[in-house]
Amino acid sequence: MTRFRVAAYVIRHRSVAELLVFDHVGLPQAGTQVPAGGVRPGEELEQAVLREVAEETGLLTTSVIRPILVEDKPHPDTRQPRRTTYFHLQAPADTADAWRHTVGGGGDDAGLTFACRFLPLPLERPLADDQDAWLGHIDPRWRTPTGDRR
């Protein structure tokens, strides 16, 4: 059975465009990621992406610009089918540069702490699970150099 997910490219515009990413505190092998997660039964995709951003980063001030694309790609560890809808979101320019957020609630991530920060675009290195692959669909200048892809 396919798992339905959303992923968020949260962009902040200052002197350059910057992407919101996070790392799992105490779990460096998870790699640098963008907010992403499962869609709940009956939940609209735009609601799901805003919820995931809020749960994983604590940000409540983002807004959805538009969906970018739908990716069908198996989970990197379990190989179970999953369909991820990527969204372009915007964060206010005055959003903090970096912070830590501990996930609340009763979901799979509850109790985890994420170190959140903004990175200038284009990224210097790919994100975990190639989550950056579709940034060029927002702006071609934001494509991650492919020479570093594994």
User: Which among 126, 136, 143 has a CA at the least distance from the CA of 34?
Assistant: 126
* Predicted pLDDT at 149: 41
Task: Check whether 57 has a pLDDT greater than 90.
Answer: yes
The DSSP call for residue 142 is G
What band does 56 get if pLDDT is binned at 50, 70 and 90? very high
Q: Given pLDDT bands bounded at 50, 70 and 90, which one contains residue 82?
A: very high
- Residue 27: pLDDT band with limits 50, 70, 90: confident
Q: In sequence order, what DSSP letters do the residues of 2-16 get, joined into one string?
A: PEEEEEEEEEEESSS
Burial tier of 31 (Cβ tally within 10 Å: 0-12, 13-18, 19+): middle
- Rounded CA gap, 95 and 131, in Å? 22
Between 28 and 18, whose confidence is greater? 18
Q: Which of the listed ranges 27-31, 87-91, 107-111 does the model predict with the highest average pLDDT?
A: 87-91
Q: What CATH homologous superfamily does 3-148 map to?
A: Nucleoside Triphosphate Pyrophosphohydrolase (3.90.79.10)
Region 81-104: mean pLDDT is 96
Which pLDDT belongs to residue 146?
A: 66
Which is nearest to 34 in space by CA: 87, 100, 70? Answer: 87
Residue 95 and residue 134: Cα distance in Å, rounded? 23
